Structure formats: C-alpha cells, structure tokens
Amino acid sequence: MSAVLGPMTNSSTPPPASSGTPANRRPLRRLTARGREEAHRVASPLELFFDLCFVVAVAQAGVELVHALAARHAGEGILNYGMVFFAIWWAWMNFTWFASAYDNDDVLYRVVTLVQIAGVLVLAAGISRAFEKHEFLVVWLGYVIMRAAMTAQWLRAARSTEGAERTMGLRYAAGVSLCMIGWLGLVVLPVGARVWVFVVMAVLEMCVPPYAEKDHPTSWHPHHISERYGLFTIIVLGETIAAATVAVKSGIDENDALGELLPIAAGGLLIIFAAWWIYFAVPIHGHLRSNGQAFLWGYGHYLIFASAAAVGAGLEVAVEQAVGKAHISTLEASAAVTLPTALYLLTVWALHSRYYKVGIAQQLVLPSTALLVIVCTFLGHWAVFAAGLVSALAVASGVVLAARRGAGEPGASGSGGSSGEHATSPVG
C-alpha cells in the first residue's frame, strides 16, 4: 500500500537483498523496514518486470478508449477509462511504496509479487467487457487478487515488527481488505449506481494510507521512489509510441495515406519527446522528503500516467479519422490528442516543475504551452503537428531561459531542491 505520509524514519536495517551475511541469503527472511539512507538504492529486476506487466493493462485500457472515441462515445469511454486506470494505477502505486520500504527480496516476497502480476493480467483480460458490456466481474477479480497479495505482504510485515509499526501494518491490511469488499458494488449494483460506487471507494482507498500511518510512517527511499515513478513514465510513453506507430503503419499499408498521416506522426513524436524531456528535466527526490509534497506528488501521478497513455490513444484516433475509419470530425480527433497533452503538461508543472522555476518567465512556460496546445485543436488536419511544434518550442524556451539565468547567476542554488540542485534546470 502506498506509504506517502509522514517523515521517513531512521532505520539501521541493512539492505536485505544485498547483505553478504548467511542469514540474509536464506530463502525466507523477516520482512523488516529498509534504511532510508541506504546507498545505491535502485529499482530491482522484479520491479522492472512488475512495471512491464502492468503496462499490458494500461495498453488494453488505451485500446478500449480508442474504440470508444472513434465510435463517438467519448463521455462513456473516458469515464470507463478513468475507472479502470485507477485500479491499475492504485495497485501499482501501493506496491511501489511498500517495496521501497520493505523489499527483502526473499522467495516468499517474490512469489507474492508474482501473484500481484497475475492479478493485473486477469484485470487486463476483463477490460474489454467492462468497456463494452459494463461487466466488471473479471476486473474486480483481478483487483482482488492484487489486493489480497498486498494484504498478505502487510500482514507479514506486521508479524515481523512490533509496537506502532506493527499497528500500522495491521491497519493497512484491514483497510485494503475492507476496500476489496466495497469494490464488489461495481459487480452487484445497477449500472447507474456504479459511478457513485467508484467515487466513494476511490476516496476510501486514498484515505487508508493517512489512517494507517498516522502514528508511524514507513521508511520509503526518496531516490528509489523517484526512479520508480520515472521508469513507469518511460514505459507508458514507450507504449504510447508503440500504439501510435502501429496505427500509422496500418494506415499507410491499408490506405496508402502517407500525406495525411505524416503530420500526425511527426506531431505525435514531438509531443512524446517533449513529454519525456519535461518530466525528467528536474530532480524531484529532494522534495519527496516533505510530508505533504510526497503525498500530493504520489497521488498526482494518476493524471500524469493516465494522460500520457491517453495521448497514444488520441494519436490512434487521429490516424483512424484521417484514413476514414473513424466517423468523427477532425475537431474531435484533434481534441483526443491535444486535451490529454495539455493535461499532462499542467500536471507535470503543478507536481514538481514549478518548484524549480525562478522568475515569471520560467513559471509561465508550461501553463502557456498547455493553453496553446488546446488552441491547436482548431487547426484542422494540422492540429497534431502544431501541438507537437508548440511542445517542442516549450522545451527549447525552457533550455534558453535556464541557460540565461545560469549565466547571469552562477552558483545560484534552487529554491526548492536539495543541496546541489539548481533552479536553472532546463525544463519548459
């Protein structure tokens, strides 16, 4: 479960997976907290495998969003996409923060993590039925598998600890278990009530971490967390590129429409390149030491991940509209790309880029770019290409502004970063 509240505790526990003592090489070990100042803390191969499997579900959600948008069911499609994506993202985030604090890499930990992966694959198998027939049984079963495995991890952590930390683990296990039951409303209640079930249960899910950690925060590692989120962003952007590439290839092969598709392909590539640059232009781990900042940053990535994946779906819709396969207007197809792009830009700015800006010019680059991207929606067949150019210009202007400020104020440290991080980071 997500451990995003409270200051990190000091722990002298050595890295369980890397220690050379015989006790720490045993197949089963106590699941105790890792040290917050642990050196060289990086994502493990199991975590990378976990991310790749979760992106399978993200891809399925994107495919169904494409079908809904192309069939002029935008409202219903976006709603279903948001609900399914929440389940994927929340399970991913919970494991990520738990692993940052408790990963001991023993056999049982690995097996339970693989069960979580099986759960997301079951969830992915039910996404099409959730979109098309409003049947959430398979999605719910996949979610229950993931959450039951997470509950087992928290019970194991509680068994290995004592005092306030043990209480925290038991609170997490109880909260996760109760929420699993609550989500059953998506299966048994009428279709009209399911939106309210989602809203209520999403709020309750997000209340579990502050309740569980009110007396004892977990010892998550800021560098590790920032790397994990960055890697998942890369994988989602990679899936976006893959989906758009396949769509363009199919359009060229089936319709010989290179002239119509080239602006979409070029603009989409510029958008994705800019999305990567803007996200990774600033060091964020220093801000994650703050209680409130870590909470907002971790939860806010729901919009970053969802909008990044939606850009890929939008590019597919734009391609289908350009070759006549989607019976929607050019304006609707353009909005499918520009609106999630603008949301991505604004969310990245709000979560961390703005903390590294100095002066009104740097502060306004990303919000202004988001507004211009929305304006590009009305440029007809050139909308996606124009949005890509605007995004690329945002990166270029950020680099120029940062270089000028760096030249004018040598050695000036960033107002929001930790030691050695500068406010002149080249972000748009």
- Whether residues 205 and 255 share a domain: the answer is no
Q: What is the mean pLDDT of residues 63-81?
A: 93
Mean pLDDT of 151-180: 93
For the ranges 120-129, 281-290, 412-421, the one whose mean pLDDT is highest? 120-129
Whether 19 is in a domain gets the answer no
Q: Is residue 155 included in any domain, yes or no?
A: yes
Residue 316 and residue 247 in contact, taking contact as beta carbons nearer than 8 Å: yes
Does a structural domain hold residue 194?
yes
Specify whether the backbone of 425 is left (phi greater than 0), alpha (psi in -120 to 50) or beta. Answer: beta
Domain limit, last residue, from 176, 192, 219: 219
**Average pLDDT value for residue range 161-187:** 93
Instruction: Give 291's pLDDT tier (boundaries 50, 70, 90).
Output: low
Mean pLDDT score, 58-80: 93
Residue type, 399: V
Q: Residue 413 has what DSSP assignment?
A: P
Contacts of 144 (CB under 8 A, 6+ apart): 119, 180, 183
- Report d(CA 350, CA 22) in Å as an integer: 47
Q: Are residues 352 and 211 in the same domain?
A: no
For 47, other C-beta atoms within 10 Å of its C-beta total 21
Q: Which carries the bigger pLDDT value, residue 362 or residue 132? A: 132
Report the amino acid identity of residue 230: G
Nearest alpha carbon to residue 332 among 344, 317, 345, 347: 317
Q: pLDDT confidence of 20, banded at 50, 70, 90?
A: very low
Give percent of the chain with pLDDT exceeding 90. Answer: 58
**What pLDDT is recorded for position 11?**
39
Single out the residue of 381, 353, 378, 209 nearest to residue 295, CA to CA: 209
DSSP designation for 221 = -
259 and 201 in a single domain? The answer is no
User: Last residue of some domain: 204, 219, 234?
Assistant: 219
Lowest mean pLDDT among 248-257, 289-298, 322-331: 289-298
Domain range for 77 is 42-219
Quote the pLDDT of residue 37. Answer: 77
Question: Residue 283 falls within a domain, yes or no?
Answer: yes
Is residue 428 a part of any domain in this protein?
Answer: no
Quick one: pLDDT at residue 407? 55
Tell me which of 216-220, 224-228, 288-292 is least confident.
288-292
Query: How many domains does the chain divide into?
Result: 2
Give the chain's mean pLDDT: 84
User: Is the domain of 324 the same as that of 232?
Assistant: yes
Residue 74's closest CA among 261, 303, 318, 332? 332
Specify whether 206 is located in the same domain as 329: no
| DSSP annotation of 314 | H
Same domain, 353 and 382: yes
Q: Are residues 214 and 227 in the same domain?
A: no
Same domain, 328 and 269: yes
Residue 409 pLDDT greater than 90, yes or no:
no
4 has pLDDT over 70? no
* Pair (167, 227) in one structural domain: no
Among 219, 246, 263, give the residue marking a domain's end. 219
Q: Which position has the token pair 């949005």?
A: 387
Together in a domain, 206 and 227:
no
Q: Is pLDDT of 388 > 90?
A: yes
Question: Is the pLDDT assigned to residue 242 strictly greater than 60?
Answer: yes
Q: In the prediction, which pLDDT does 230 show?
A: 92
Convert the pLDDT of each residue in 77-136 to its tens digit.
999 999 999 999 999 999 999 999 998 888 999 999 999 999 999 999 999 999 988 899
Distance (Å, rounded) from C-alpha 155 to C-alpha 31?
Answer: 10
Nearest to 96 by CA among 283, 299, 343: 299
Clarify whether residues 281 and 359 are in a common domain: yes
Task: Indicate whether 192 and 230 sit together in one domain.
Answer: no
Q: Is the pLDDT of residue 410 over 60?
A: no
Q: Of the ranges 28-32, 195-199, 201-205, which one carries the lowest mean pLDDT score?
A: 28-32
What is each CA distance from 85 to 36, 106, 227, 241, 386, in whole angstroms? 30, 30, 21, 19, 28
Q: What is the model's pLDDT at position 15?
A: 45
Q: Is the pLDDT of residue 309 over 90?
A: yes
Does a structural domain hold residue 100? yes
Does the pLDDT of residue 203 top 50, yes or no?
A: yes
CA distance 103 to 8: 16
Residue 312: CATH number of its domain: 1.20.1410
E-assigned strand segments in 45-115? none
Maximum mean pLDDT: which of 15-19, 22-26, 294-298, 301-305: 301-305
